[in-house]
Amino acid sequence: MKYRLTPLLVCFLLFGSTSTVPAQNATSKLTYPNTETVDVTDTYHGTSVADPYRWLEDTESDETRAWIEAENKVTQDYLQALPGREAMRERLEKLWNYERYGIPTRRGDRYFYSHNDGLQNQSVFYTADSLDSPRKVLIDPNNLSGDGTVALASTAITKDGTLVAYSLADGGSDWRTWKVRDVATGKDLDDEVRWVKFSGVAWMPDNSGFFYARYDAPVEGSELLGTNENQKLYFHELGSSQDDDTLILSRPDHPKWGFSPIVTEDGRYLVIHNWKGSEPKSQVFLKRLDQDGAEVEPLITGFDAEYDLIATVDSKLYFLTDHEAPRRRVIVIDADSPERENWNEVIAESENVIESASLFGDVFYVSSLKDARSLITRHEIGGALIDEFELPGLGSVGGFNGYQDATETFFSFTNYVTPGAIFRVDLTDPSPAKATAKLWRQSELDLDLDSFVTEQVFCTSKDGTKVPIIITRHKDTKLDGSNQTLLYAYGGFNISLTPSFSPANAAWVDAGGIYAVANLRGGGEYGREWHEAGMRLNKQNVFDDFIAAAEYLISSGYTSSKHLGIRGGSNGGLLVGAALTQRPDLFGACLPAVGVMDMLRFQKFTIGWAWVGEYGSSDEADQIENLLSYSPLHNIKEGVCYPATLVSTADRDDRVVPGHSFKFTAALQKAQSCNNPTLIRIETRAGHGAGTPVSKRIEEYTDLWTFLKANLQ
Active site positions, annotated: 570, 688
- 3-state helix, strand and coil shares in percent for the chain, rounded to the nearest 5: 25, 35, 45
Rounded distance between C-alpha atoms, residue 402 and residue 501, angstroms: 25
| Crossing angle (nearest 10°) for helices 571-582 and 540-555 | 70
Assess contact for 320 and 330: CB atoms under 8 A. yes
b/e burial code for range 549-573 (CB count within 10 A of at least 16 → b):
bbbbbbeeebbbbebbbbbbbbbbb
* Residue 139: CB atoms within 10 Å: 24
| Crossing angle (nearest 10°) for helices 694-711 and 62-80 | 60
Rounded distance between C-alpha atoms, residue 188 and residue 281, angstroms: 37
b/e burial code for range 412-422 (CB count within 10 A of at least 16 → b):
bbbbbbbbbbb
Spatial CB neighbours of 326, under 8 Å, sequence gap ≥ 6: 349, 527, 528, 529
Q: What stretches of 602-700 adopt beta strand conformation (E)?
A: 644-650, 678-683
In sequence order, the β-bridge partners of residue 368 are 354, 375
Task: State CA 137 to chain mean position distance.
Answer: 27
User: In this structure, what DSSP letter does residue 597 have?
Assistant: -
* Residue 27: CB atoms within 10 Å: 9
Three-state DSSP class for 299?
Answer: strand
**Rg of the chain taking only CA atoms, in angstroms:** 25
Spatial CB neighbours of 154, under 8 Å, sequence gap ≥ 6: 166, 167, 176, 200
Rounded distance between C-alpha atoms, residue 546 and residue 568, angstroms: 11
Q: For 423, phi and psi rounded to 5 degrees?
A: -120, 145
Longest Cα–Cα distance in the chain: 77
Assess contact for 535 and 615: CB atoms under 8 A. yes
Rounded distance between C-alpha atoms, residue 51 and residue 67, angstroms: 17
DSSP sequence for 31-60: PPP-------EEEETTEEEE-TTGGGG-TT
Identify which of 438, 428, 353 has the alpha carbon closest to the alpha carbon of residue 392.
Answer: 438
Rounded distance between C-alpha atoms, residue 154 and residue 164, angstroms: 10
Q: For 70, phi and psi rounded to 5 degrees?
A: -65, -40
Q: Are strands 373-380 and 363-370 parallel, antiparallel or unpaired?
A: antiparallel
Which segments of 436-539 does DSSP mark as H helices, in order?
503-510, 528-532
Handedness of CA 529, 534, 540, 545 (dihedral sign): positive
The amino acid that residue 401 corresponds to is: N
Q: What stretches of 91-240 adopt beta strand conformation (E)?
A: 100-101, 105-107, 110-116, 124-128, 135-139, 150-157, 163-170, 176-182, 188-196, 201-203, 209-214, 232-237
Handedness of CA 172, 177, 180, 186 (dihedral sign): negative
Rounded distance between C-alpha atoms, residue 460 and residue 491, angstroms: 16
